[in-house]
Amino acid sequence: MEIHPIRITDKGEDRFDLEEYCDILLQALEQGFAFQTFSDYLENPKNKVILLRHDIDVSLEYGMQMARIEQHLGIVSTFFVRLHSYFYNLLEEENMKRLAELAEMNFEVGIHQEIYKFTADRQELIEILKIEKKLVEAIIGAPIFGVATHLPKKNVIKMTPDFLAEAGFRYRPGSEIFNQDAIFISDSNKRWKKYSFREALAISDKIIANIHPVWWAGKFTDHTGLIKLLGAGK
């Protein structure tokens, strides 16, 4: 059973709802942007591109709402899922179905790792990550190539190329190959970091957009408590 946090409203000038999200994606398409998953970009990078990433911190159902919009528009993105979320159980039957559906819809699935919660031993961390990778791969019936860190400031290890390779991964989204000559934007804590999505569309031909579905699909009254819970790393 998923735990739904306190309800949120946005008091800023920027809108955070699914209608606005769809409008932004339509604008990007009209401007000639291609959308690629991170693994697709490694194989065949486009020149005018958006690497759209979703960190599923709170709810897979929120993520599915965004995925359905993107599928309707012919857009692909990469979803990073947590195995240790305070808010949802990835192994719950409905969530396993949602995860498999994402893969069937040709979205990329990666792991939003929190293995630093367990140990600081490098080899033990690698073994934990291998287990988590195999578990999610079994659910989606497809290989996993990417891993992103939840709450990077709490991470006790460096996700070096050697570390990733030993754990069986090809990339992390913070790697230079993705970020070179790119603008990175994020809606973390329901506030745009440096540039909004629309601003980024106007100033760069390569955008990495980290969009958290909870801020767009969740309808809440006060998001302060949710931010505290996410930051606590529960």
Per-residue pLDDT for 110 more than 60? yes
Query: For position 156, what pLDDT does the model report?
Result: 63
- Token pair 């992390």 is at which residue? 172
Measuring CA to CA, how many Å separate 141 from each of 90, 101, 130, 197, 208?
15, 10, 16, 33, 27
**Among candidate residues 169, 161, 171, 173, the one with its CA nearest the CA of residue 132:** 169
What CA–CA distances, in Å, run from 149 to 61, 223, 225?
Answer: 21, 22, 22
- The CATH superfamily holding the domain 18-229 is Glycoside hydrolase/deacetylase (3.20.20.370)
User: Is pLDDT above 70 for 2?
Assistant: no
Average pLDDT, the chain: 86
Residues facing 13 on adjacent strands: none
Give the mean pLDDT of 4-13: 38
Q: How far is CA 110 from CA 102, 151, 183, 228, in A?
A: 11, 16, 21, 25
Residue spans of the domains in the chain: they are: 18-229
**The residue to which tokens 């359905």 are assigned:** 68
Provide the whole-model pTM. Answer: 0.87
* pLDDT tens for each residue of 209-227: 999 999 999 765 445 544 5
Provide mean pLDDT across the span 36-49. 96
What's the pLDDT band for 9 if we cut at 50, 70, 90? very low
